[in-house]
Amino acid sequence: MPPAGSGSRPPRPPGVVVIAAVVALEALELAAAALWLGIGSFSQPPQSLASSVFLVVLTLALAAGLAAVSVNAYRGFRWTRSAAFVWQLLMVALAMPALFGGAVPVGVLLLLPALAGIYYLFTPRVVAFSLRTGGEHPVL
C-alpha cells in the first residue's frame, strides 16, 4: 500500500463508470446520426451540398469530442466533468419538448441517462476521483 502522501488516487467509483458509459453511448448515437445524415445526403438531393457536408462534419466532430470526454472521464480527468455536465443539460433540453410533445419514449430515452449522468457528476466519490493531486499529468 503506498504512503498517504504519495499522490495515490481513490479507487474508481461506479459513478465514474456510469458517466463514461452514458457519454460513450451518446457519442455512438451521434456517430450513427452522422452516418444517417451522410447516407441521406447521397440518397436524396440536398438543398445545399455545402450545408449538408457541414452538418455531417459537425456531427462527427461532436461525436469525437464526446468520445474524448468519455475516455478521459473514465481516466479521472477533472475537465471532463464540466463538458459532460453541459452536454447532459443539452440532452435534458432536448428531452423536454419530446416528452411534452407526445414522443414520450424518445423523451424518456433522452432524459433518464442525462439525469443519471448529472446525478453522478456531483457525488462526492466522483468529485474526489476526478481531483488530481499528483501523478503524471498534474495540469489536466
Q: Tens digits of per-residue pLDDT, 49-69?
A: 888 889 999 999 999 999 999
Residues 6+ positions from 7 with CB-CB distance below 8 Å:
133, 134, 135
pTM of the model as a whole: 0.83
Q: Tens digits of per-residue pLDDT, 14-38?
A: 999 999 999 999 999 999 999 999 8
Q: Tens digits of per-residue pLDDT, 73-132?
A: 999 898 999 999 999 999 999 999 999 998 999 999 999 999 999 999 999 999 999 886
Q: Are 87 and 63 in contact (CB under 8 A)?
A: no
